[in-house]
Amino acid sequence: MLLNDLSSSVDLRPVRYQFATVRGDSYDDNWLVIEGTVATPEGKWSFADPCLLTDEARQVSAWLRAVAAGTVDVTEPDAEGELSPDTWFIEPVVAFSLVHRIESGTAVIRVHLSLEAAPPWQQGDDGADIYQYVVEVRVDTATLLHAADEWDRSLASLPSR
């Protein structure tokens, strides 16, 4: 799923299960490795990490569709300026929030990238900045829906086990 505008891009793909064979554990059997390629004015990097469970991965496209439908609330920084995503998962590697809507059917979304997904110049931090590194991308409704469909197609071969 590619989310991009003129200055930044985030390309996320579920590529495989963390463990090829079923182990009989609902968590271990359902961890998905997510590959990401990110480009911002600050730099480019990529990552691969088992950071989403199969059920969590299905929430990503649902969130994108909800943003497209206008049913997701804007998430503002708290009083201390800290960001909290409105869609997050067990592993705090990738998360999402809505910055604002523009009347023309365009939204600015945040892709929160922490730990293994953080840019190389921020890795090694002790985790104090979870969810604080974000890539903001301005996307229209058609792009959001296309990204959701693309994500669902990627997940089709990776059902819950």
Structural domains for the chain: 2-155 (2.30.31)
Share of the chain above pLDDT 90, in %: 89
The torsion angles phi and psi of 103, rounded to 5 degrees, stand at: -50, -30
Has residue 12 got a pLDDT over 90?
Answer: yes
Q: Taking a C-beta distance cutoff of 8 angstroms, is the pair 61, 148 a contact?
A: yes
Has residue 92 got a pLDDT over 80?
Answer: yes
Span 50-62, mean pLDDT? 98
pTM passes above 0.85: yes
**Residue pointed to by tokens 């990503």:** 60
* Spatial separation of the C-alpha atoms in residues 160 and 34, rounded to whole Å: 15
Has residue 136 got a pLDDT over 70?
Answer: yes
Taking all residues of the chain, what is their mean pLDDT, rounded to a whole number?
95
Has residue 81 got a pLDDT over 60?
Answer: yes
pLDDT confidence of 127, banded at 50, 70, 90? low
